[in-house]
Structure 1
Amino acid sequence: MTRKREMRTFNITSLSKRDGTNEQPLMISGYASVFNSKTSIGDYFEEVIAPGAFARSLAENDVRALFNHNWDKVLGRTKSGTLRLMEDERGLKFEVDLPNTTAARDLVESMERKDIDQCSFGFIATEEDWNYSVEPALRTVIEADLFEISVVSIPAYDDTEAALVRSKEIDRSVEKRIKILNQIKGVMGNE
């Protein structure tokens, strides 16, 4: 059976950037995918991405960061070190050092205006589980072959986020908000 490439898009909930200097390029960071976040795929089925779904792919693949899934607008690449991807307890976290291109400058302008604040990713599901006992059916992506992440204007998943980082370090306030949200979710889940 031939596997098809798929794309999923998410809302970016906290956007931040790092102002570029002569020594450091502008940087965007956030989550391209959030684990266990359910979304509707074309009203046909619901889908969640399982924790660890990208682990093998991150170790083996050369992944690109794009603008709107456009391969002509490459923002960064893992092979060159301008895109850094890692999984944590929340999801697929990314940092991308933006190039000094028209596309990247236009993206930054749109992000600063809050016109663009969403993320997406392109993948091939290599292991999945289907639950047909619920309506609509639920697909769990257990393992995915990741080939790109994108900052986009229209999402499929609402829980993603991207931010322009204003210093060399990751914005600590984003990290604190994530911990607080996870604590709140934990308390609500225990009720």
Structure 2
Amino acid sequence: MSAAASLERRTFSEVRTAGRRLEGYAATFGSKAALGSIVETIKPGAFGPALAGDVLALLDHDASKVLGRTRSGSLRLAEDAKGLTFSLDLPDTQAGRDVLALAERGDLGGMSFGFMVPKGGEEWDGDNRTLLKVDLKEISVVSAWPAYPDTTLALRSRQQARSARVELLREITLAELRA
């Protein structure tokens, strides 16, 4: 399985502007998200180890539209009691100016994050999935319709063993995202 096939994304909507800075939550803890037949929650501390790595800030999960990154200091991430907070200094690029204009008008769809689940990073209780540890790759400003929680973008299997049908759906979904 390719790395792209196991990348998962979630979307939230709390964003605010302060000058050329975007701030808010890219994820919240304890909130139940209905993802098809699966209900998912994120446990506090799930992002902790990943915060030491280089995480990108993108526009609409598009790697060609980098808005910032932790390595350069233009993106700052932290966990608090509510969730994964971010502070992003927007660049003076077309994408940065567009995001700023949309944020100031209140037209942004929200925030999202892309991640992979390492071995042992999740627990299942029937159709309830709890994310215990995630390998955070990116957070994204979502300019239009966030995929979470009402679309198939976030659908995954409960067990890798029964993944044939679900992997096909995942590949189709990822292919649609790339189109």
Query: RMSD across aligned C-alpha pairs, in angstroms?
Result: 1.7
CA distance in 1, matches of 2:42, 2:2: 21
Give SS of 2:100's match: helix
CA distance in 1, matches of 2:29, 2:17: 24
Structure 1 stretches of 4+ with a deviation exceeding 4 A read: none
- What count of residue pairs does the alignment treat as equivalent? 144
Give the gaps of 5 or more residues in structure 1: 20-25, 159-191
**Alpha-carbon distance change, 2 to 110 in structure 1, aligned in 2, over 3 angstroms:** closer
Q: Does 1:66 align with 2:58?
A: yes
CA distance in 2, matches of 1:157, 1:96: 24
Q: Structure 1-normalised TM-score? A: 0.71
CA distance in 1, matches of 2:149, 2:13: 6
CA contact (8 A) 2:90 2:100 kept: no
Q: Which has the larger radius of gyration?
A: 1
Which gives a bigger RCO, structure 1 or 2 (Cα 8 Å, sep 6+)? 1
Structure 2 equivalent of residue 154 of structure 1: 145
Give SS of 1:32's match: strand
Q: Structure 2-normalised TM-score? A: 0.76
Q: Deviations over 1:148-167 (max 9, x none)?
A: 00111323159xxxxxxxxx
Give SS of 2:95's match: helix
CA distance in 1, matches of 2:13, 2:23: 13
1:2 Cα deviation (Å)? 7.5
1:18 Cα deviation (Å)? 2.2
CA distance in 1, matches of 2:2, 2:100: 38
Larger helix fraction of residues: 2
Structure 1 equivalent of residue 30 of structure 2: 36
